[in-house]
Structures are given as C-alpha cells and as structure tokens.
Amino acid sequence: MACVAVPIVEGILVKTAEWILVQKERKEEARTKALKGEAEGKSLMNGEKRYSSPLKNENFPEGEAHSALTNSGTLVGLSLRKKLHLLSNFLFSGSVLLAFEHFWHGEIVPFFPFLTGARTPEDSYTMLKEMSTVGVSMALLITGIWAVYCFVLERKLQKEGEKNASIA
C-alpha cells in the first residue's frame, strides 16, 4: 500500500544531500575563480576583472566541473555528488513504477485519504507494518544495488585510466 513512501523519502534525503554538495562545489569554484582572477584577471575599463572560462567537457551535463578522470591520468573516480545523483535516480524511478503499480491495483486513489490502507485504524496498522517491512527492505535493496553498481563503475574507470596512462 504505502511501502512506496519509504524509497521516496530516502530519495528526497539523498537529493537534499546532493544539493548541499552542489552548493559547496559552487562556492569552492567561485572562491577558486576569485583567487585565480586576482592573479591572472585582466582589468576592464570600469575596474572589474574579466576571467577566461574553462573548456567544458561535452560528455557531461552543463555544470559538471569535474570529469571522472583528471587530465594527468591520475584516478579520481566518480565524485560523491555523482554517486548520490545515481542513487536518487534509482530510488525515484523505482518509486514511480511502484506508485503506478499501486494505482493500477486500486491501492492509491485520486481522493482523500489517497491510500486505501488509511481508511480505518486497523488498515493503518497494516499499512505502517508494510511500510516498515517491505518499504525499508526495498529501500535497502535499491541502496545495495547502487553500492555494487558504483563499485563496478569505479573499477571500470580505474582500468580505463590505467589503460590511458600506459598509452600516454
């Protein structure tokens, strides 16, 4: 019934952590640009500094400042922000599919109280029990699959980095 709520809440928490990391990266990038601009900036007529923008990597979405590998070939791997983005995508996509399945079977309805398991106190107990057992186990399973996926992806990036370093 409402077991879909647990992965959604976890997804919201992960997305919040990802947003916090993005804000920290932006502050660090602005601080780095400011320090770099003081040393390398060109003064304009009104006294402001002009900065040259770094080249963007076309393989990553706009705003991606760091690629998986550095230019020198040393391994960095995926940033924590990218890993959290993957986890939130896993959680939200699974939750959307599960919510559709619950809607299809009539467990979620388009009128109050929206969940058929919340109509009576006895049904609410069953719904909360399902959330604490099935919902938590689903969220843990998705998080476990994500951890394995990130581990395999890191290993793949390491092998590609070693291959590229040996060629150079």
Q: What is the DSSP string of 78-102?
A: --HHHHHHHHHHHHHHHHHHHHHHH
* In the predicted structure, residue 72 carries a pLDDT above the cut 80: no
Domains of the chain by residue range: 5-41+79-167
Question: Which amino acid, residue 152?
Answer: V
Residue 48 or 103, more confident: 103
In the prediction, which pLDDT does 1 show?
A: 65
pLDDT (mean) for 72-77: 53
Q: What angle do helix axes 5-40 and 136-167 make, rounded to 10 degrees?
A: 30
pTM: 0.70
Confidence of residue 111 (pLDDT cuts 50, 70, 90): confident
* In the predicted structure, residue 21 carries a pLDDT above the cut 70: yes
In the prediction, which pLDDT does 27 show?
A: 93
Confidence of residue 55 (pLDDT cuts 50, 70, 90): very low
pLDDT in tens, 127-151: 889 899 999 999 999 999 999 999 9
In the prediction, which pLDDT does 71 show?
A: 42
Of the ranges 52-56, 82-86, 124-128, which one carries the lowest mean pLDDT score?
52-56
Residue 167 or 136, more confident: 136
Write the CA distances from 108 to 49, 116, 120, integer angstroms: 57, 6, 15
* In the predicted structure, residue 57 carries a pLDDT above the cut 90: no
* In the predicted structure, residue 37 carries a pLDDT above the cut 50: yes
In the prediction, which pLDDT does 52 show?
A: 46
Enter the tokens of residue 59: 């393989």
Helix H or strand E encompassing 42: strand 42-43
pLDDT (mean) for 110-129: 82
